[in-house]
């Protein structure tokens, strides 16, 4: 049988120990692996490998010895408790071998857990599980995690209290990150909030979310966008000492000001424009960019973009002008514009 949506999510968290087996397939190997780890742990417990109740079989090994799976399914363990045989990265070429073990399966045998890459609707391997009355097939796709999945991840991490704004930020983050990165971020957030009795805030999310821009560059862009021209020189000296190239600064400045322009141009206002950005922007940085977009306005941001585009083209041309001086001059012009 085939499971999808919430039913699949619930099955991963609480699998049926009396089922013959489960096929998990999908193009994203990380997503498939995370789900496989979750279901095996829920089915067998955390000590399954130490108690030899979990047998792992590589697809290449099974191709060389087709009897391995059937033998492992029937083997009697030394320790009591449920058992499973895990076949990793199977393909349609192993469908007949797996189908043979499935046909011979009886109650009390080890459950068969199979993972695979992307499989079409006509896949022979899928049909082995989808047409069996005592087995499930679950496809893992690139859709962002559902609200229920995010709540389950938070519950496992021990995070119980969040402000509505932080919840919104976390859901945006879940759509932007790979599943493994998102879970690591939630684990980091749980450690960050350890011992605190207050709800998670957008600032906490921001502190734990993966950085998308170097901190020093981010500081520089805020100096420029907020018109703090007197702070520009020392910051440029520090970044030059770190070896950051002028072209890289131009690219990141263009990205920042284009984001401000998109926010300022949104019919719902800068706040709505910032909320639509991908990857999402969180916490204090979101509030800061919203204020910058409101302060600049559409027309001055268009002027700023024109200056940055011209500077970028000059930096990439055969001009012999000192490149760091060119980009610093452009930033100085922008910071003076911000004061108008």
Spacing of C-alpha 73 from chain mean position: 35
214 pLDDT more than 60: no
39 confidence band (pLDDT: 50, 70, 90): very high
Say how many Å lie between the first and final Cα of the chain, rounded. Answer: 66
Reduce the DSSP state of residue 75 to 3 states and report it: coil
Q: How many residues does the chain have?
A: 340
Please give the pLDDT value at position 296.
92
Q: Alpha-carbon distance 114 to 127, whole Å?
A: 13
Q: Alpha-carbon distance 78 to 55, whole Å?
A: 13
Q: Which long-range contacts (CB under 8 A, 24 or more apart) does 56-60 make?
A: 56/86, 56/88, 57/85, 57/86, 57/87, 57/88, 58/88, 58/89, 59/87, 59/88, 59/89, 59/90, 59/91, 59/94
Least confident among 51-65, 210-224, 232-246 = 210-224
Q: Alpha-carbon distance 134 to 17, whole Å?
A: 11
200 confidence band (pLDDT: 50, 70, 90): very high
Please give the pLDDT value at position 320.
76
111 pLDDT more than 50: yes
Please give the pLDDT value at position 84.
93
**Token pair of 50, please?**
């130490």
213 confidence band (pLDDT: 50, 70, 90): very low
Rounded to two decimals, the pTM is 0.56
211 confidence band (pLDDT: 50, 70, 90): low
Q: Alpha-carbon distance 217 to 211, whole Å?
A: 12
Please give the pLDDT value at position 245.
87
User: Are residues 22 and 111 in contact, defined by beta-carbon separation less than 8 angstroms?
Assistant: yes
267 pLDDT more than 60: yes
Backbone angles phi, psi at 85, to 5 degrees: -115, 125
Please give the pLDDT value at position 144.
72
Backbone angles phi, psi at 323, to 5 degrees: -70, -40
Please give the pLDDT value at position 310.
92
Q: What is the pLDDT of residues 122-149, one digit of tens each?
A: 899 999 999 999 999 999 877 777 788 8
59: Cβ contacts below 8 Å, ≥ 6 apart: 87, 88, 89, 90, 91, 94
Please give the pLDDT value at position 244.
84
What DSSP character marks residue 93? Answer: G
DSSP assignment of 254-302 equals HHHHHHHHHHHH-TT-HHHHHHT-SS---HHHHHHHHHHHHHHHHHHHH
- Asked if residue 279 has a cis previous peptide bond (ω within 30° of 0), the answer is yes
Using CA atoms, how far residue 114 sits from 180, 271, 274, in Å, is 20, 46, 42
Please state, rounded to an integer, the average pLDDT across all residues of the chain.
87
The C-alpha angle with vertex 12 and arms to 8 and 15, in degrees rounded to 5, equals 105
Reduce the DSSP state of residue 12 to 3 states and report it: helix
34 pLDDT more than 70: yes
**Token pair of 208, please?**
């734990």
Q: What is the pLDDT of residues 158-175, one digit of tens each?
A: 998 899 988 888 888 887
Please give the pLDDT value at position 180.
76
83 pLDDT more than 80: yes
Please give the pLDDT value at position 1.
86
**What is the mean predicted confidence (pLDDT) over 193-210?**
87
Q: What is the pLDDT of residues 174-194, one digit of tens each?
A: 877 777 788 889 999 999 998
**What is the mean predicted confidence (pLDDT) over 198-204?**
90
The enclosing H or E element of 25 equals strand 21-25
Q: What is the pLDDT of residues 298-337, one digit of tens each?
A: 999 999 999 999 999 988 887 777 888 899 999 999 999 9
CA atoms within 13 A on the CB side of 52: 6
């Amino acid at each position: 049988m085939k499971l999808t949506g919430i039913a699949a999510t619930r099955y991963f968290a609480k699998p049926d120990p009396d089922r013959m087996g489960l096929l998990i397939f999908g193009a994203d190997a990380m997503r498939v692996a995370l789900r496989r780890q979750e279901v095996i742990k829920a089915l067998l417990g955390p000590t399954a490998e130490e108690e030899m109740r979990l047998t792992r079989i590589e697809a290449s090994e099974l191709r060389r010895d087709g009897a391995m799976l059937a033998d492992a399914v029937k083997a009697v363990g030394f320790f009591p408790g449920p058992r499973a045989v895990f076949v990793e990265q199977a393909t349609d070429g192993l469908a007949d071998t797996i189908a043979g073990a499935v046909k011979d399966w009886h109650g009390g045998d080890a459950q068969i857990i199979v993972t695979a890459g992307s499989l079409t609707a006509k896949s022979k391997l899928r049909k082995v599980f989808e047409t069996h009355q005592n087995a499930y097939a679950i496809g893992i796709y690139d859709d962002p995690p559902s609200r229920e999945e995010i709540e389950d991840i938070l519950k496992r991490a021990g995070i119980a209290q969040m402000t509505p704004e932080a919840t919104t930020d976390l859901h945006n983050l879940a759509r932007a990150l790979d599943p493994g990165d998102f879970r690591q971020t939630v684990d980091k957030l749980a450690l960050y909030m350890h011992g605190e009795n207050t709800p998670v805030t957008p600032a906490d999310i921001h502190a734990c979310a993966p950085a998308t821009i170097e901190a020093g560059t981010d500081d520089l862009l805020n100096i420029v966008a907020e018109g703090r021209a007197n702070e520009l020189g020392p910051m440029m000296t520090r970044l030059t000492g770190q070896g950051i190239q002028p072209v890289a600064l131009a690219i990141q400045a263009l990205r920042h000001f284009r984001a401000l322009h998109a926010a300022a141009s949104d019919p719902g206002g800068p706040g709505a424009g910032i909320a639509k950005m991908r990857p999402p922007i969180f916490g204090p940085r979101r509030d800061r960019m919203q204020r910058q977009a409101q302060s600049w306005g559409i027309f001055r941001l268009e002027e700023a973009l024109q200056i940055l585009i011209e500077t970028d083209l000059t930096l990439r041309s055969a001009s012999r002008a000192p490149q760091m001086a060119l980009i610093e001059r452009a930033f100085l012009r922008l910071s003076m514009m911000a004061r108008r």
